[in-house]
A and B are shown apart, each in its own frame.
Chain A
Amino acid sequence: DAKTTQPPSMDCAEGRAANLPCNHSTISGNEYVYWYRQIHSQGPQYIIHGLKNNETNEMASLIITEDRKSSTLILPHATLRDTAVYYCIVRVAGTSYDKVIFGPGTSLSVIP
């Protein structure tokens, strides 16, 4: 079973920041938080991951609470092309055999 909970859907105005929350209250000390997204009829795309520090890359920022029980993915300036289902996943990094189990994710709609 997925170890995370996310709201089923969210809307965001184009050009505004999209903040997608994720709860992972049972996360273990060696588990990272990963975010993927899936645009309709495509394979999932990696966005970002982190352990306990906040992370930023060219796509997004990841804010992880100090107790690591929740996190927020931030798309700073959402565009229509960011409309997708966003999946928050916890898994052990440093191994290739650890499964990626998907929950229902959050369906983000960016509105013009």
Chain B
Amino acid sequence: GAVVSQHPSRVICKSGTSVKIECRSLDFQATTMFWYRQFPKQSLMLMATSNEGSKATYEQGVEKDKFLINHASLTLSTLTVTSAHPEDSSFYICSAARPNFHTFGSGTRLTVV
């Protein structure tokens, strides 16, 4: 049990366009989900905490208007990278939280060209 599906796994987009990444908890409800970003050879960096039915909480230095997070149901959170630029190219990972565990998605490789 405890599967988190992240889609798409890879996306290439043109500079200036927006990209939406979905994170779904398949067999449990998650009131809280988290979004991370990971650059090559670096650790995961927490971007924001997504709470069902309320506004996301962003970590310091993360632009909330650029990284739009929507958590409209107990099983789905989405991250939209707006007006993407090459420096937004990264590996984006979500996690869905239960009281004792965070289960992670398989990640989305975003390349902005």
- The residue of chain B having its C-beta at the shortest distance from the C-beta of A49 within the complex is B100
Q: Does A81 contact B (CB under 8 A)?
A: no
Q: A93-B99, A96-B98, A99-B34 are in contact. Are A41 and B109 (CB under 8 A)?
A: yes
Q: Does B102 contact A (CB under 8 A)?
A: yes
Query: In B14-50, which residues have CB < 8 Å from any A CB?
Result: 30-32, 34, 36, 43-46, 49
Q: A93-B100, A94-B99 are in contact. Are A44 and B44 (CB under 8 A)?
A: yes
Is the Cβ of B106 less than 8 Å from the Cβ of A96?
no
Interface string of A92-112 (1 = CB under 8 A from B): 011111011111110000000
A interface size (C-beta, 8 A): 23
Q: Does B97 contact A (CB under 8 A)?
A: yes
Complex: how many Å from CA A54 to CA B14? Answer: 50
Secondary structure type dominating chain A contacts: loop
Complex: how many Å from CA A104 to CA B103? Answer: 19
CB neighbours of A100 from chain B (8 A): 34, 46, 95, 102
Q: A96-B97, A97-B97 are in contact. Are A43 and B46 (CB under 8 A)?
A: no
Please pick, from B4, B91, B99, the residue contacting A95 in the complex, using a CB distance under 8 A: B99
Q: A46-B103, A99-B34 are in contact. Are A41 and B44 (CB under 8 A)?
A: no
Interface residues on B, range: 20 to 34
Is the Cβ of A43 less than 8 Å from the Cβ of B105?
yes
Whole-angstrom distance between the Cβ of A61 and the nearest chain B Cβ: 19
Is the Cβ of B101 less than 8 Å from the Cβ of A46?
yes
Q: Does A65 contact B (CB under 8 A)?
A: no
Interface-central residue, A41, A44, A87, A94, by most chain B CB under 10 Å: A44
Q: Does A45 contact B (CB under 8 A)?
A: yes
CB<8 Å pairs between A and B, sample of 24: A38-B44, A41-B91, A42-B106, A42-B107, A43-B4, A43-B93, A43-B104, A43-B106, A44-B93, A45-B104, A46-B101, A46-B103, A94-B99, A94-B100, A95-B99, A96-B30, A96-B31, A96-B32, A96-B97, A96-B98, A97-B32, A99-B46, A102-B43, A102-B44
